Amino acid sequence: MSNGRYVEFPNPQGQLLRGIVHEPDLRLERRICVLLLSPGIKGRVGPHRLYLKLAARLVPLGFHVLRFDYYGLGDSSGELGEKELAQVYASIQTGRYVDDTIAAMNWAQEVLGISRFVGSGLCGGSISALLTAAKDPRIECLLGIGLPTALDGRPENWASSLTQGQLDDLRGGYKRKLLDPRSWLRLLSGKTDYAALWRSLRGKHAKSPAQLSKSASPPEDNTNPHFAPAFRAVIESGRQMLLVFSANDRMHYEFQEKFEARHPDLASVREGMYETVVIEKANHVMSDRASVGALLDHADRWLTNRYGPPRQE
């Protein structure tokens, strides 16, 4: 795969967005572009060069790949006006960069002649893809990686919105550390999150999805109010999704408990419309080789099943 070529285009506010487009061999191209949308405040390369690894797998399959910096990030113009990082994350999760994503599709349609897109990205990139897909049917399927269901808040408030799955994991972790003197030193030095510790130790065993759907919401429910309407809009329009989660990450617990358990009617349409995969031992940013390999294999399999094998030269 080539390194791609530099591109730039304006968003509706006139800010110049800059990025890279990777183009397949003309004999292989499908006229479909995968949008690798920036994760949070990280740029178009992705953590540990994740987006370059994805592009290297997808381009030989015949897909164009476009990755670019949103306004205020990386090489693009504009500035972030928020004072706290949590505010930036929350604004992304509620649609801050939908217009930038639409601008990228407009550019690809005008310059490359491509009007079919796969929305993708890690974390903030995947929620931007979902929210854009709910508004723009040119995104015809979604490859979400660590798709966030909840809104990020200030670190001091995170314990109040932990899911049952997170509490179970934390409780197991605390029990394993009982014989580690360093853990006791951390506890006594005030570095432990006591609210999370207390909630995990007094938490009940994990509930079934049916029980969770009937249970009361936690005192501070940080579920993204834009998530369910956008998810339903995409599914009900007949567009499919592959959602890849990391086992060592809260995102899959939040998706199960704060979305699936509260929308049991989706079980009847889940088969064939959206698939969830959890990669064991993976962290949020897929930083190790085995996790990346599993992600690439799942993406390859799912896209090939949906669009067919790549054309032969």
Q: DSSP H helical segments within the chain, as ranges?
A: 50-58, 85-93, 98-107, 124-135, 164-176, 181-188, 194-202, 209-214, 227-236, 251-258, 267-270, 289-307
Token output for 149: 């269901």
The per-residue pLDDT for 217 is 46
Distance, CA of 74 to CA of 38 (rounded, Å): 10
Averaged pLDDT score across all residues of the chain: 84
- Averaged pLDDT in 10-residue chunks for the chain of 313 residues: 88 97 94 96 92 97 97 94 89 96 98 98 97 98 97 57 54 54 53 45 49 50 94 94 95 93 81 91 94 98 94 71
Of 76, 9, 50, 131, nearest in space to 299 by CA: 50
By the 10 Å C-beta count (0-12 exposed, 13-18 middle, 19+ buried), 295 is classed as buried
Pairing of strands 16-22, 64-68: antiparallel
Domains of the chain: 5-153+222-307 (3.40.50.1820), 160-214 (no CATH)
Give the amino acid at 189.
Answer: S
Token output for 218: 């936690």
| Neighbour-count burial for 243-272, b at 16+ CB within 10 Å, e otherwise | bbbbeebbbbbbbbbbbbbbeeebeeeeee
Distance, CA of 245 to CA of 35 (rounded, Å): 19
The per-residue pLDDT for 158 is 46
Give the amino acid at 118.
Answer: V
The per-residue pLDDT for 239 is 96
Distance, CA of 33 to CA of 119 (rounded, Å): 9
Of 50, 142, 37, 47, nearest in space to 93 by CA: 37
The per-residue pLDDT for 197 is 44
3-state SS, one letter per residue, for 160-187: HHCCHHHHHHHHHHHHHCCCCHHHHHHH
The per-residue pLDDT for 185 is 54
Q: CA angle at residue 282 from 144 to 37, to 5 degrees? A: 30
Distance, CA of 35 to CA of 114 (rounded, Å): 12
Distance, CA of 307 to CA of 100 (rounded, Å): 26
The per-residue pLDDT for 198 is 45
The per-residue pLDDT for 182 is 58
Pairing of strands 33-37, 117-122: parallel
Q: SS3 for 128?
A: helix
Distance, CA of 295 to CA of 104 (rounded, Å): 25
Q: CA angle at residue 87 from 82 to 89, to 5 degrees? A: 115
The per-residue pLDDT for 104 is 98
The per-residue pLDDT for 224 is 95
Distance, CA of 122 to CA of 73 (rounded, Å): 16
Distance, CA of 221 to CA of 143 (rounded, Å): 26
